[in-house]
Chain A
C-alpha cells in the first residue's frame, strides 16, 4: 500500500496543527459557529443528533494492521468501544468529543491517516474496487490511479469551495465493484487496441435525483488523468448551481447542459491545460505503482487439496466458503470477505476488539493489509487456500464469520435516525427486523444474490436507489414511514430501482420483503438471480402481491 514520505507526513501533521488552532479559536469564541462548521466539515466532523461524528478517510479502503490497531485504540480512548464502516470505504466514530478531535487526528497522523476532506463541499475520499490488484477480471490495478487522484485532490486550493460535495471512484476491472456510474466522476481503466487508458463518466449520483453517469470521454491516455479532472472540476466550480443546494451537484449541471455540451465545454478547457505541468510523468506513475506491487506469494501447492478436505468435513465452513470467498489471480490463494452483518449488530459496526482481531488475522494470513468495501464489509485479499479453515475458525471466535456475503441479510445501511441529524427515519432497526425475518441460512443461500440497501433519508447514504430492493425512510406528518423500491443494481449493468408504491409503516417492512421474495421464488426460471427475474417480468407482479 502507499507509504508516506516526508512530504505526505508533513502535510498531514501540519493539518492537525491547523485544525487544532481552528478548534481552539472556535472554543474561545473567536470563530463564529457558521464559519467553523465549514472548517470542521472539511475535517470530517459533523454535529449529530446525540454527539459529534468524525469520519476518517480510508483512501480506496486500504488499511494496514498497524492502522487497524490505532483505530481500535481510538475506539477505546476517545469513543465508546466501537466504530462504523461506511458505504464510501471510510470509518466513522459516533461519540467523539469536539475538543478531543485534534488529539484523535494526531493519533491518526501517527499511522499515516487523516480525516481530510471527508465532508464539506470539496473533493471527497476517492473510492475503488475492494478486489483491486487481486481480481481475476482485472484489466489494471486501480489503486495507483486512485492514489494519484487522492494526492491531486488533497488541499487543492481551487476546489475547496465547490457548489456541493464531489465524489470520484475508480475501477480497473471488467465487473464494476466501485459503482462508478453513481459517482460525480467515474474513472474506468479500459483496454483499446492493446493500450490501457481511461474512460471518464461524469454526473452520476444518488440522493434526491438519482442519475447514472454518462460517458463524456471514451478514451483518455493515462498521463492526462489529472489535467482532465482539472478541466471537469473547473467547469463545475464555475458553472455549477449555487442558488439551491438540492440542484448543486454536477449531475444537475450535466443534465442541464446535456452531456454532449458539457463534454465539449470540458474538452475546450482541457485543451488549454493539456500537456501542462499536471501531465503525469512516467517516473511518477512508476513511483506510485511501486507501492502496489504483488506481495511475496508462496503457495504450497497443496491449497486446493487441503481446502477440499476441510469442505468435506464441515458444513458451516462450506457455507462460508461458498458465499464469502472469491477467486484470486494467484493460484493457491483466495480473496476472503469478512461480512460485518451479524444480526442484531448495526451493519458496518465493528468493536475495538474485532478491529484488533482483524489486524492480527491480516498479519497472520494476508500480508498485514485489509480493505474496507462499499458494502460495509472487510476484505482480506491475499489468503492462502490452506489457511482458509484456520482463518475461518478464528473469525468464528470473534463473531466475524457470518456466511452471508451478497445475501439478503448482507444489508447496506446508513446510521439513520439513531445517530444522524439529517435522517427522516431510523434504518438500523429495519435492517435488524429483516435479518430476523430471514434467519434460515439454507433458505438465504437458495435465494442467492440479493442486495437490500436502506437509507434513512433521501441523501441516500445507504444507496437505496441501487439496491435490488431499496428502502428509504420518509417522514409522513411526523411519523416514520418507508418507501420500497425494486430492481436497482450497482454493478456493471447499473440500474436505478423503481418505486413500488405507497410507503409502509416500519413493522410492515419484513412482511413486504417476504412478499417480494415470494414472487421471485414462484416466478424465477433456471438460475435467475432476484434482479434478473425482476428485469424479465417487470414491476406489476410485485405490486399486485404487495398491495393486494
Chain B
C-alpha cells in the first residue's frame, strides 16, 4: 500500500489515482478524475471509498455543490514548478469551506510542503524518490508569516505585538 504523509505522520493510504481511461463505477479505493465524478455524481454519492482528483487546469468551482459528499480531494502537480494547485487548495478552504482531506499528488517534493500546508493541503503523496522522513521535516515552515493563509487566517499585522 502506498505511503503518504498525512497530518504530520507517514501512513498507508489505500486511495490511488485513477486515470480517465481506467475510471469506472467498479473502481474502489480510488481517486477518480473530476470529469468522471461529475458525470456519475448521483451514483457515487455516499461512497466512502472514493475521492476526486483534479488536474492543474480544472476548476474547484465545479466541485462546489458536492463538497459535503467528499472526504478527499486530490490536486495534481504536473511539475513541481506549477503553482495552480496552491490556489485551488486555498479556494477550497477559504471560499468553499471544505474541511476534508486535500491531498497533493504528482510532482510533490520536500521544499514545497510548508507552502502547500499553508494553502490548506493536509496530505502529500510524494514524488518517486522523495525521502518520507526528510519530507516530514520539510513541513516545518517559518515561525512567523506576514500574510493571511489557511493555517493562519489572520495576517501578522492583525496579530503583531
Q: How far does the Cβ of B143 sit from chain A's closest Cβ, in whole Å?
A: 6
Interchain Cβ contacts within 8 Å, total number: 101
The chain A residue sitting closest to B78, CB to CB, is A242
Check A158–B90 contact: CB distance below 8 A. Answer: yes
Check A281–B81 contact: CB distance below 8 A. Answer: no
Q: How far is B115's CA from A159's CA once the two chains are assembled, in angstroms?
A: 9
Check A7–B156 contact: CB distance below 8 A. Answer: yes
Partner of B146, one of A15, A152, A158, A277: A152
Interface size on A, residues (CB 8 A): 39
Q: Among residues 127 to 183 in chain A, which have CB atoms less than 8 Å away from a CB atom of chain B?
A: 151-152, 154-163
Contacts of B81 in A (CB 8 A): 38, 121, 161
Q: Does A516 contact B (CB under 8 A)?
A: no
Check A161–B144 contact: CB distance below 8 A. Answer: no
Q: Does B52 contact A (CB under 8 A)?
A: no
Q: How far does the Cβ of B42 sit from chain A's closest Cβ, in whole Å?
A: 29
Q: Does B119 contact A (CB under 8 A)?
A: yes
Contact A22/B146 with A158-B83, A158-B87, A277-B155 known, Cβ cut-off 8 Å: no
Check B82–A161 contact: CB distance below 8 A. Answer: yes
Q: How far is B140's CA from A14's CA once the two chains are assembled, in angstroms?
A: 11
Q: Does A276 contact B (CB under 8 A)?
A: yes
The chain A residue sitting closest to B145, CB to CB, is A155
Please encode chain A, from 63 to 91, with 1 for each CB lying within 8 Å of some chain B CB and 0 for all others.
00000000000000000000000000000
Contacts of A158 in B (CB 8 A): 83, 86-87, 90, 115, 119, 149
Q: Among residues 102 to 161 in chain B, which have CB atoms less than 8 Å away from a CB atom of chain A?
A: 109, 111-112, 114-116, 118-119, 134, 142-149, 153-158, 160
Contact A277/B143 with A39-B111, A121-B81, A238-B87 known, Cβ cut-off 8 Å: no
Q: How far does the Cβ of B118 sit from chain A's closest Cβ, in whole Å?
A: 4
Q: Does B84 contact A (CB under 8 A)?
A: yes
Partner of B84, one of A14, A39, A238: A238
Q: Does B66 contact A (CB under 8 A)?
A: no
Contacts of A156 in B (CB 8 A): 146-147
Check A278–B147 contact: CB distance below 8 A. Answer: yes
Check B149–A272 contact: CB distance below 8 A. Answer: no
Check A284–B157 contact: CB distance below 8 A. Answer: yes
Partner of A277, one of B80, B86, B144, B154: B154
Contacts of A110 in B (CB 8 A): none
Partner of B155, one of A10, A237, A278, A287: A278
Contacts of A163 in B (CB 8 A): 83
The chain B residue sitting closest to A163, CB to CB, is B83
Contacts of B146 in A (CB 8 A): 11, 151-152, 154-156
Q: Does A494 contact B (CB under 8 A)?
A: no
Q: How far is B111's CA from A284's CA once the two chains are assembled, in angstroms?
A: 31
Q: Does A35 contact B (CB under 8 A)?
A: yes
Q: Does A394 contact B (CB under 8 A)?
A: no
Q: How far does the Cβ of B109 sit from chain A's closest Cβ, in whole Å?
A: 6
Q: Name, among A10, A22, A155, A287, the residue most crowded by chain B CB atoms within 10 Å (CB to CB).
A: A155
Q: How far is B154's CA from A395's CA once the two chains are assembled, in angstroms?
A: 48
Contacts of B142 in A (CB 8 A): 10-11, 14-15, 18, 155
Q: Name, among A121, A242, A281, the residue most crowded by chain B CB atoms within 10 Å (CB to CB).
A: A242
Q: How far does the Cβ of A321 sit from chain B's closest Cβ, in whole Å?
A: 42
Q: How far does the Cβ of A224 sit from chain B's closest Cβ, in whole Å?
A: 14
Q: How far is B116's CA from A284's CA once the two chains are assembled, in angstroms?
A: 27
Contact A237/B111 with A157-B119, A277-B154 known, Cβ cut-off 8 Å: no
Question: Could you name 27 residue pairs across A and B whose Cβ atoms are closer than 8 Å?
Answer: A7-B144, A11-B142, A11-B143, A15-B142, A22-B111, A35-B80, A38-B80, A39-B111, A155-B145, A156-B146, A156-B147, A157-B115, A157-B145, A157-B149, A159-B86, A160-B115, A161-B81, A161-B82, A163-B83, A226-B155, A237-B83, A237-B84, A237-B86, A238-B87, A276-B148, A283-B157, A284-B158
B contact set with A: CB distance below 8 Å: 80-84, 86-88, 90, 95, 109, 111-112, 114-116, 118-119, 134, 142-149, 153-158, 160
Given contacts A11-B142, A157-B147, could you give 20 more A-B pairs where the C-beta distance is less than 8 Å? A7-B156, A10-B144, A11-B143, A14-B143, A35-B80, A121-B83, A151-B156, A157-B118, A157-B145, A157-B149, A158-B149, A159-B83, A159-B86, A160-B83, A161-B86, A162-B83, A277-B148, A277-B153, A280-B157, A283-B157
Rank and list the top 10 A-B pairs by shortest CB-CB distance, nearest first: A161-B83, A157-B118, A157-B115, A284-B157, A277-B148, A151-B146, A158-B86, A7-B144, A14-B142, A237-B87
